[in-house]
C-alpha cells in the first residue's frame, strides 16, 4: 500500500525578517577542546568541585561536527558560569530580553525535570523563572532529542561580563548548546539549526552552497552564517588558474586549502571553480605564444596538479567555464558557436579539443569527481533572450557525450534578475538536460532588483528564489543550489547594496528571500520525512475529486480518496491539500 502524506498547504507566508534580528551568542562550544571544563557554582555562590557537579565540553552526537556542554548535577542545584563576549552594558543590555538555548536529556533518565530555570548576571542580579515542572523529554536510545528553551529575562540595566545559568534540580544530567541572547523583535534565529536551509536541504540530499573567500572563514557572524546555513562552499577566486598556478608549474594552493580545510571542519562539501576559463588565466600563459602542443601540455599539467591536490576533498569541478559565444540564435540539434577565439586563449591556440581534453584529464585525475561545464545565460529554455545559448549548450553537451567525453553535468550560473527570471523556463531546461542523463544545477545565483527595498519586489524575489528551490527539490538531476555571495554588500555585482541580489543583508540578517528558501526546503523535507498519514475520508460513497500537480495542472479527474495511492509517485494537490504519494 503506497503511503500517502497529507501536507498542510503551505501558502508562502511573507516574513519580513527585521533588520534588527540580533543574536549575541554566549557560547556554542564548537571552538572549544572536548574536555574543557566550565566553573559550576551552588545556590549560595560557592564554586562546586567536580565530584559534586560538573560542566564539560563533549562532542555533539547529533551532528558530524561541533560540540555541546554536558552538565552533571549532584545533591545540590548547580549553576554554570559563562563569559559574555565583550560584556553588555547600558542601552545595549536592555535590547536583549530573552535568553535561549538548546537542551537535551540523555536516554534512560526517568525522573521528571522539575524545578526553576535561574539566570544570574554576575554575582549580583539573579532572576528566577518560577515553574514547577518543565517538559524536557528524555532522548531515544540512539538519538538525542533537542528541546528549544527560551526564557524572557527582565530588562537589566547592565550585564556584567559573566552570567550563571542552571536549574533548581538535583541528581540529574543534561546537555546544552547554542546559548545566546535574543532581542525581542526577533524573527529569525540563525543559530537555531532547524531554521536553516542547510538542515532541511541535507534531509533531501541536496546541496545549498555559497561562494566564499578565505577572509570570511572564521567564527564571526558572517562565518557562522555561512557554515550554519549552507552545506557547500565554492571559492569565488581561490581555485582559478591565476590563483593556483601564478607561475608556470609553480602551484599555490594556500587560499584553496584554507577554504577546503574550513569547509571539511564544518562538514561542508566543496565545489571546485574553475580549471579552464578564458578569464583569470595566469598572465604567463598569455605572455608567451605557446604552440597548441605546449598549451595542451600546460592545461593537462594544471588539471592533474590542481584536481590531484584536492582529490577526495573536492567532490565536483567546473572543468570548463563560459566557452560558448553569446548570440547563438539556434534551436536544439542546430549546433553551437564557441566563444570568439580572440577572447579565449585556450580556444585560439588549441581549438575546440581543449574542452574534450580538459574533461578527460579531470576524470583521470579524480575518477570520483563530478564534472561540470559551466556558463551564464543558459538557464531559460524558451521565450527568453537566453534560449538560443541554452539550446547551444544542450547541443554541445550532446556532442561531448556522443564522443564519450565524461561530462556529468551543466552548471547554470544564473546571474539573473528579479524581473528577468522565469522560473518555469528554468525547469524546462533542467528537464531537457535530464533527457541527456546529465545533472543541471544552479552554480552562481544572484537576483538583483530595480527597487528591491520595496516590499513588492522583496516578495517577488522571495517567491522566485523559492521557485528555484522548488525545482531543485523535485528533480533528481538538480542536486545543487549555489548563490554567488553571502550578503548584499559582498557581491561581485556593481552597487549590489542597492540592488540587493542575495539572501542576507549586510548585517547578516536573513532577508525574506532566505526565509522563503528555508520554508521551501522544509516543506519538501517534512513531506519526505513525515510518517505516513492516511487520508481520513475513505468513505467509498464519497464522490471523487480532481487531482492537480503542484503547477496547478489537472492530472486526474474524479479520483476517490481510496484511489489516490494508485497515482504515480509525486506531490499532488487534492481537495486543497498537498498529498505526497510515495
Ligand atoms: O587579486 C587581485 C588583487 O591582487 C588586486 O589588488 C585587486 C585589485 O585589482 O584585484 C584582485 O583580483 C580581482 C579578483 O576578483 C580577486 O578578488 C580582480 O581584479 C577581479 O576582476 C576579480 O573579480 C572576480 C571575477 O569573477 C573575475 O572575472 C569576482 O570576484 C568573481 O565573483 C567573478 O566570478 C565569476 C565566476 O568566476 C564565473 N562566472 C561569472 C562570475 C562573475 O563575473
pLDDT in tens, 437-465: 999 999 999 999 998 878 788 889 999 99
Q: Which residue has the higher pLDDT, 57 or 113?
A: 57
Eight-state DSSP code of residue 494 = T
Question: What is the spatial distance between Cα 134 and Cα 543, in angstroms, rounded to a whole number?
Answer: 47
Query: Is the pLDDT assigned to residue 243 strictly greater than 90?
Result: yes
Mean pLDDT of the chain: 86
Mean pLDDT of 104-112: 85
**Ligand 1 centroid to residue 239 C-alpha, Å:** 12
**Ligand 1 centroid to residue 444 C-alpha, Å:** 14
Q: Which atom of ligand 1 is nearest to the CA of 413?
A: 39
pLDDT of residue 561: 67
**Ligand 1 centroid to residue 279 C-alpha, Å:** 9
Query: Is the pLDDT assigned to residue 9 strictly greater than 60?
Result: no
List, chain by chain if needed, residues with CB within 6 Å of any ligand 1 atom: 236-237, 279-280, 321, 413, 444, 492
Active-site residue, selected from the candidate residues 27, 322, 386, 427: 322
pLDDT in tens, 266-312: 999 999 999 999 999 999 999 999 999 999 999 999 999 999 999 99
Contact partners, residue 45, CB within 8 Å, separation at least 6: 123
Residue 289 bears catalytic tag:
no
For a mutational test of ligand 1's pocket, the pick from 211, 235, 237, i.e. the residue with the most ligand atoms closer than 8 A to its C-beta, is 237
Q: What is the CA radius of gyration of the chain?
A: 27
Single out the residue of 103, 85, 81 nearest to residue 163, CA to CA.
81
Question: What is the spatial distance between Cα 36 and Cα 54, in angstroms, rounded to a whole number?
Answer: 11
pLDDT of residue 552: 65
Query: Is the pLDDT assigned to residue 482 strictly greater than 70?
Result: yes
Question: What is the spatial distance between Cα 221 and Cα 514, in angstroms, rounded to a whole number?
Answer: 16
β-pair type (78-83, 67-73): unpaired
pLDDT of residue 14: 26
Q: How far is CA 386 from CA 325, 326, 340, 414, 493, in A?
A: 11, 9, 18, 11, 20
Helix (H, G, I), strand (E, B) or coil at 249: coil
Mean pLDDT of 401-423: 97
pLDDT in tens, 507-550: 888 888 998 899 899 888 888 764 333 333 333 334 567 787 76
What's the whole-model pTM score?
Answer: 0.70
Residue 322 bears catalytic tag:
yes
pLDDT of residue 157: 59
Helix (H, G, I), strand (E, B) or coil at 432: helix
Q: Kindly report the protein residue whose alpha carbon is nearest to atom 22 of ligand 1.
A: 237
**Ligand 1 centroid to residue 237 C-alpha, Å:** 6
Which stretch of 24-28, 30-34, 277-281 has the lowest confidence by average pLDDT?
Answer: 24-28
For a mutational test of ligand 1's pocket, the pick from 236, 326, 443, i.e. the residue with the most ligand atoms closer than 8 A to its C-beta, is 236
Q: How far is CA 84 from CA 18, 93, 149, 164, 424, in A?
A: 24, 11, 19, 10, 49
Burial of residue 337 (number of CB atoms within 10 Å: 0-12, 13-18, 19+) = middle
Q: Which atom of ligand 1 is nearest to the CA of 492?
A: 32
Question: What is the spatial distance between Cα 144 and Cα 374, in angstroms, rounded to a whole number?
Answer: 41
Chain centre to alpha carbon of residue 4: 28
Amino acid at each position: 500500500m503506497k503511503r500517502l502524506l497529507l501536507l498542510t498547504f503551505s501558502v508562502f507566508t511573507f516574513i519580513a525578517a527585521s533588520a534588527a534580528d540580533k543574536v549575541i551568542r554566549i557560547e556554542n562550544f564548537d571552538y572549544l577542546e572536548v574536555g574543557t571544563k566550565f566553573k559550576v557554582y551552588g545556590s549560595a555562590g560557592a564554586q562546586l568541585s567536580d565530584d559534586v557537579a560538573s560542566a564539560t565540553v563533549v562532542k555533539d552526537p547529533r551532528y558530524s561536527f561541533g560540540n555541546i556542554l554536558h552538565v552533571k548535577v549532584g545533591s545540590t542545584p548547580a549553576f554554570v558560569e559563562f563569559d559574555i563576549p565583550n560584556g553588555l552594558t547600558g542601552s545595549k543590555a536592555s535590547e536583549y530580553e530573552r535568553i535561549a538555548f538548546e537542551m537535551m536529556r540523555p536516554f534512560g533518565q526517568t525522573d521528571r525535570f522539575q524545578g526553576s530555570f535561574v539566570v544570574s548576571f554576575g554575582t549580583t542580579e539573579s532572576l528566577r523563572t518560577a515553574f514547577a515542572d518543565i517538559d524536557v523529554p528524555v532522548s531515544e536510545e540512539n538519538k538525542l532529542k533537542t528541546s528549544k528553551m527560551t526564557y524572557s529575562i527582565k530588562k537589566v540595566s547592565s550585564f556584567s561580563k559573566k552570567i550563571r545559568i542552571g536549574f533548581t534540580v538535583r541528581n540529574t544530567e543534561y546537555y546544552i548548546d547554542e546559548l545566546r541572547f535574543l532581542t525581542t523583535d526577533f524573527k529569525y534565529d540563525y543559530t537555531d539549526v532547524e531554521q536553516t536551509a542547510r538542515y532541511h536541504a541535507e534531509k533531501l540530499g541536496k546541496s545549498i552552497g555559497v561562494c566564499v573567500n578565505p577572509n570570511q572563514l572564521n567564527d564571526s557572524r558572517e562565518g557562522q552564517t555561512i557554515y550554519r546555513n549552507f552545506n557547500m562552499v565554492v571559492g569565488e577566486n581561490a581555485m582559478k588558474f591565476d590563483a593556483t598556478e601564478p607561475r608556470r608549474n609553480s602551484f599555490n594552493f594556500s587560499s584553496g586549502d584554507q577554504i577546503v580545510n574550513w569547509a571539511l571542519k564544518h562538514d561542508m562539501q566543496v565545489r571546485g571553480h574553475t580549471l579552464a576559463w578564458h578569464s583569470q588565466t595566469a598572465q604567463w600563459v598569455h605572455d608567451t605564444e605557446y604552440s597548441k602542443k605546449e598549451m595542451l601540455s600546460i592545461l593537462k599539467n594544471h588539471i592533474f596538479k590542481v584536481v590531484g591536490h584536492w582529490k577526495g576533498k573536492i567532490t565536483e569541478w567546473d572543468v570548463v567555464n563560459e566557452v560558448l559565444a553569446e548570440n547563438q540564435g539556434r534551436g536544439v540539434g542546430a549546433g553551437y558557436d564557441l566563444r570568439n577565439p580572440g577572447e579565449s586563449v585556450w580556444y585560439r591556440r588549441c581549438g575546440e579539443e581543449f574542452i574534450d581534453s580538459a574533461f578527460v584529464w579531470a576524470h583521470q585525475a579524480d575518477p570520483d569527481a563530478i564534472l561540470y561545464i559551466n556558463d551564464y545565460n543558459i538557464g531559460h529554455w524558451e521565450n527568453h533572450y537566453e534560449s538560443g545559448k541554452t539550446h547551444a549548450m544542450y547541443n554541445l553537451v550532446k556532442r561531448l557525450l556522443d564522443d564519450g567525453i565524461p561530462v556529468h553535468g551543466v552548471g547554470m550560473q544564473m546571474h539573473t534578475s528579479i524581473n528577468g527570471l522565469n522560473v518555469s523556463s528554468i525547469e524546462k531546461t533542467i528537464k531537457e538536460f535530464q533527457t541527456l542523463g546529465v545533472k543541471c544545477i544552479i552554480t552562481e545565483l544572484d537576483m538583483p532588483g530595480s527597487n528591491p527595498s520595496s516590499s513588492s519586489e522583496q516578495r517577488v524575489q522571495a517567491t522566485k528564489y523559492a521557485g528555484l528551490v522548488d525545482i531543485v527539490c523535485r528533480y533528481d538531476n538538480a542536486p545543487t543550489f549555489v548563490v554567488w555571495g553571502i550578503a548584499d554588500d559582498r557581491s561581485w555585482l556593481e552597487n549590489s547594496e542597492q540592488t540587493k541580489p542575495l539572501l542576507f543583508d549586510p548585517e547578516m540578517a536573513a532577508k525574506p528571500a532566505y526565509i522563503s528558501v528555508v520554508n521551501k526546503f522544509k516543506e519538501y523535507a517534512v513531506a519526505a520525512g513525515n510518517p505516513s498519514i492516511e487520508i481520513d475520508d475513505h468513505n467509498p460513497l464519497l464522490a471523487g475529486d480532481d487531482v492537480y500537480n503542484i503547477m496547478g495542472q489537472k492530472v486526474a479527474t474524479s479520483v476517490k480518496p481510496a484511489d489516490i495511492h494508485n497515482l504515480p509517485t509525486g506531490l499532488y494537490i487534492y481537495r486543497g491539500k498537498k498529498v505526497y504519494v510515495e
